[in-house]
Structure formats: structure tokens, C-alpha cells
Amino acid sequence: MVNTITVVGAGNVGATTAQRVAEKRLARRVVMVDVVPGIPQGKGLDQYESAPIEGFDSRIVGTNGYEETEGSDLVIITAGIARKPGMSRDDLLATNAGIVRAVGEQIRRTSPEAIVIVVSNPLDVMCYVAREATGFPRARVLGMAGVLDTARYRAFLAEALDVSVLDIQAMVLGGHGDTMVPLLSYTTVSGIPVRQLLDQATLDAIVTRTRGGGAEIVAHLKTGSAYYAPSSAAVQMAEAIVFDQRRILPCAAWLEGEYGLRDLFLGVPCKLGRHGLEQIIEVELTPAERVELEKSAAAVREPMQALATLTR
């Protein structure tokens, strides 16, 4: 257990994340920050009142400022607007960049030693904005997307195979968008290569559904985007860091030549431990997967350049 975990944004993803962090006993204090007066205070109090029932001892505090967050060990950024039907993640670029930049500057001031997990979209670019604003080393700025995309992929595979979700091992790499790269060559069911169990047409349909997994939920909800699975994914990363688990999870990390790519955040297999990013694991890719990863990197560079133009 660490002392303080801060969740910035007390909306759907943020509030669910704070509750999960407390229920998993990851921190003594969970601080939820939002710009809307009353919302983080009300939700935080409501959550704290569930403590005697759920049996956790974390104190959950809601606030509109950063003084209560001082010295946080971990900060999860969920602040920003979410997608509505018909919107792409990149449509959120200008608004969320301004929000994440302001949040990053506050974190730099109040929690200079924190590890940051970014959730706000467009994810890979918001990681870049957070890294620039905090000035933190790459080990301490990570993005959550791959764990969620992989969970969707695993859920759909388990459904098609009628097996436990726990028996599907898989990894989705690349940017958090339509160009994400599910690695079929590394997808196994209790060690059995998935291609021995499902035909190509079924696998193709599952990959397509995974790529559109976020949009499928937005189309149902109409007024917002997914938050139960996204908060689970962010908290799985937090848990790996807090308990120094050395788990290998697909996360957005700043690349410095890994996979032949540099100067961008992209989803790659990361070993997570008490220092944040402990190592990027480079796996062999098939020529097709390599092409797809490069395409995905190009799709992430586009909004990065658009942002540079916007802020020039």
C-alpha cells in the first residue's frame, strides 16, 4: 500500500477508478480532484461511506484544488471530455490537451516524485502532453489503453470459444485507435495457439470488433463513453506499480528506438514495478504485424503534429 493516490477527474472513469483503488486497498488516501465544485467532494464522501461495508480503510477525499494531493505516489489523469456518437478520439484533441497540460503543471508542482498514468483521450498524444508538462522521466509517465483493448479482445475470444476469460493470453499493441494491433501470433488459450481453435474469418471479426470496441459502447450510451472496463484497466496498472508486481502489460510508453520507433508514445509490452516503467519488452513481430505497428505509429504522429500546429 502507498500513501496517496490521486485521481484527476471525478467523472465516469475517474470516480469508478477511485472506488476500485480504495476497494483494492492500494493507498491509505485516495484524493479525487475535479474542476466542478461539489462533485468530487460528494462522490468522495459517498465512496468513503461504503468503506465500512466493503472493508477498506482508505480515506477518500474530494477536492477542487491540488493542496490535498501533495506528495502523491501515483496520479491517474482522467480529466477531459469524452466521445459522443460520431466523434473520433482525435476530435477531443485541443480541449483535452489544454486540460491535461494544466493538470500536468499542477502535478509537477505538488507531486514531483509521482508516477503518472494517463487515461484521457486521444491517449497517446495526451501522454506526450503530460510528459511535457510534468518534465518527468519516461519511467514515470505511462498511458492506459493496451490493457483495455486487450481485455476487450480477450472477452470476445472467450465468448467465441466458450472458455474462461482467464485462459486467454493476448496482447494488443499500437496506438489507442482504429489502428491498434492485436498480436494474433502471441494469442494463446492456456498455451494453445488461438489459430488452432478458431478459423481466420472468426478471428478477423473479433479483431474488427476489438478495434471498434470503444465506439460500440459510445453508440449504446450516446451521452458518454466506456468506464467500467477502462477503470479496471487503469487500476490493474496501478496495482502492478504499487505492489511492485513486475507484470508485463501493454501500456503506452515513450519510445526511444524500441521497435525501430522513437519520440512518440505507443502501446508496447511494458514491465511495471515500483519505479513505474521498469523495461520495454521487444518481441519478434511477423512482417504484417510490423507494418501494422508502423501504420499505428504514423496515426499517432498525425494528431501530435496537429497539436504542435495548434499551440504554435
Using CA atoms, how far residue 59 sits from 26, 44, 48, 78, in Å, is: 11, 9, 6, 20
Cβ-based nearer residue to ligand NAD, 52 or 65: 65
Length of the chain, in residues: 312
The residue assigned the cell 490493457 is: 147
Task: Report which residue type is found at 99.
Answer: I
Q: Is 213 in the site for ligand NAD (CB under 6 A)?
A: no
Total of chain residues touching ligand NAD, rule CB under 6 A: 35
* Beta carbons within 8 Å of 23's beta carbon, 6+ residues apart: 54, 56
Q: Which stretch binds ligand NAD (CB under 6 A): 12-20, 23-31, 182-190, 264-272?
A: 12-20
Q: Is 92 in the site for ligand NAD (CB under 6 A)?
A: yes
d(CA 16, CA 133): 26
Give kind and range of the element (H or E) at residue 291: helix 287-311
Residue 47: how many CB atoms within 10 A of its CB?
25
Q: Taking the complex as a whole, how short is the minimal distance between the CB of residue 82 and ligand NAD, in angstroms? A: 4
Task: Kindly state the smallest distance separating residue 292's Cβ from ligand NAD, in Å.
Answer: 19
Give the cell for residue 32: 479525487
Does 172 help bind ligand NAD (rule: CB under 6 A)?
Answer: no
Of 5 and 8, the one with the shorter C-beta distance to ligand NAD is 8
Q: Which H or E element spans position 106? A: helix 93-110
Determine whether 275 is an active site residue: no
Among 23, 224, 239, 301, binds ligand NAD (CB under 6 A): 224
Candidates 125, 176, 186, 194; catalytic one: 176
Query: Residue 15 or 255: which CB sits closer to ligand NAD?
Result: 15
Report the site for ligand NAD in 61-80 (rule: CB under 6 A): 78-80
Closest approach of ligand NAD to the CB of residue 156, in Å: 16
Question: Whose CA is closest to 11, among 39, 38, 37?
Answer: 39
Do residues 34 and 80 make contact, with C-beta atoms less than 8 angstroms apart? no
Report how far residue 292's alpha carbon sits from residue 266's, in angstroms, rounded to the nearest whole number. Answer: 12
Comparing every residue's Cβ against ligand NAD, the nearest one is 11
Among 21, 144, 172, 242, binds ligand NAD (CB under 6 A): 144
The set of catalytic residues is: 176
Residues that bind ligand NAD (CB under 6 A): 8-14, 33-36, 78-83, 92, 96, 99, 102-103, 119-121, 123, 144-145, 148, 176, 224-227, 230
